[in-house]
Structure 1
Amino acid sequence: MRASTTGQVLHDPKGGSFWFDAGAVCLDFAHTGGEGRYAVFETLHGPADLGEWLAQPPLSAVMTIPVTARELAAAKALRQAIWDAAHARAAGRPLPAGAVATINRAAAAAPLVPELAAAGTTAGWAPPVRATQALSTLAREMIELLSGPLSGRIRECASDNCPLVFVDSSRPGSRRWCTMERCGNRHKLRALRARRATDP
């Protein structure tokens, strides 16, 4: 990855939006939509949407070869695999075999190749830049995350009805919420109301 900043704005179909930092680009990618009840959050409607997401920082992979429908399908399969694996790890369950196979398959393709600019002070990705390379880079990051020192820090938001997953990179390892502004504050408000209701 070319920059350390992660995170993106997530939009609630019921209205409103908020900044959520999953702590890893692969986990940010896992929150771009989904299947079933998560289909309402879908942002990757067509190949161009995938290209646009990959071109955003921190990945900043501007496609030189247009994204195909097949690559979009592969991206959604990888996204689901990352989501399933992250939730399994957060819950202390074995990783689903299908998710592991999908992540490994995506990682087997050639990744993005970094290229130093002529001035020697900035870097980009060596062309041609294809979606399969970007997906390989995301899959490899997920493999590093699951097998590395932060593996035990993958968490699901502690709110009852929030399925967002993140890497807890706080020094004490005490992050509980997707964001303090959203679920953290809601929890505090509920706890305060409950206390007031029981106070004589």
Structure 2
Amino acid sequence: MRFEFIADRPVLDFLPTVAERGHADVEQLTAPTDFAEWAVQAGIVERAPDVDEAGLRHVKALREAMFRLVQALIDGTEAATTDRELVNGAAAGPLPTLRLDVDGVHRNGDLNSVLTALARDCLELHASDDRLALRWCADEHCTRAFVDRSRGARRRWCGMRGCGDRAKAAAYRQRRRTTIL
């Protein structure tokens, strides 16, 4: 499976592994190997970590806690203590190791180190100026959060490919309908 990486932050690219939350709830991590592939495609590690069914359940629980933390951050509400504790616990682990060889830098780690990297990115998001520019995609079915770094802070979609293209095409079709009538 190919995953989409458009958010410039690992945690914001990880959260939409459940797409269309509240509508279709499309789960993209249906097998342990799905998360292992996601970690490699995200560039967190270069070799897929071992993930079993229990590990996948933990991955999903952490993802949902991080989603609720980001949701609370955007909505200006207080995050649940259990979500903070779960993410703080994951962030306390060891990060993937970096090693410089003749052929470049290599990133290696197990499941826990990948989750540590994601949890730390979630916490760093809360501490960075990016938290002030966090937005939800304007597409009614998309539940991606993104950092609006546009001039004027008027960005509406998580990305132009996909949500932005669909919105512009729909607006064009609507304009064509009204001019024809």
TM range, smaller chain: 0.7 to 0.9
Whole-angstrom CA distance in 1 between matches of 2:19 and 2:83: 14
Can you give the 5+ residue segments of structure 2 that lack an aligned partner in the other structure?
none
1:35-50 equivalences in 2 (<5 Å) = 37=22, 40-50=25-35
1:79-158 equivalences in 2 (<5 Å) = 79-117=63-101, 119=102, 122-126=104-108, 129-158=109-138
Residues 175 and 35 of structure 1, relative CA distance in 2, 3 Å threshold: closer
Shift of 1:199: 10
Residues 35 and 177 of structure 1, relative CA distance in 2, 3 Å threshold: closer
1:1-200 equivalences in 2 (<5 Å) = 21-33=6-18, 37=22, 40-63=25-48, 66-117=50-101, 119=102, 122-126=104-108, 129-191=109-171, 193=174, 197=178
Can you give the 5+ residue segments of structure 1 that lack an aligned partner in the other structure?
1-7, 11-18
Does the CA contact (< 8 Å) of 1:155 and 1:166 recur in 2? yes
Residues 35 and 194 of structure 1, relative CA distance in 2, 3 Å threshold: closer
Whole-angstrom CA distance in 1 between matches of 2:23 and 2:31: 17
More helix per residue: 2
Does the CA contact (< 8 Å) of 2:157 and 2:164 recur in 1? yes
Superposed CA offset, 1:127-181 (max 9, x none):
xx21011000110011111111111111101233322211223344332112234
Does the CA contact (< 8 Å) of 2:15 and 2:63 recur in 1? yes
Secondary structure, in 3 states, of the residue corresponding to 1:111? coil
Residues 174 and 47 of structure 1, relative CA distance in 2, 3 Å threshold: same
**Match for 2:79: what amino acid?**
L
What TM-score, normalized by structure 2, do the two folds share?
0.81
Residues 102 and 164 of structure 1, relative CA distance in 2, 3 Å threshold: same
Instruction: Give the length in aligned residue pairs.
Output: 180
Whole-angstrom CA distance in 2 between matches of 1:185 and 1:124: 36
Whole-angstrom CA distance in 2 between matches of 1:125 and 1:187: 38
Shift of 1:20: 5.7
Whole-angstrom CA distance in 1 between matches of 2:118 and 2:160: 27
Residues 56 and 161 of structure 1, relative CA distance in 2, 3 Å threshold: closer
What TM-score, normalized by structure 1, do the two folds share?
0.74
Whole-angstrom CA distance in 1 between matches of 2:34 and 2:116: 18
RMSD: 3.0
Residues 86 and 42 of structure 1, relative CA distance in 2, 3 Å threshold: same
Identical aligned residues as a percent: 32
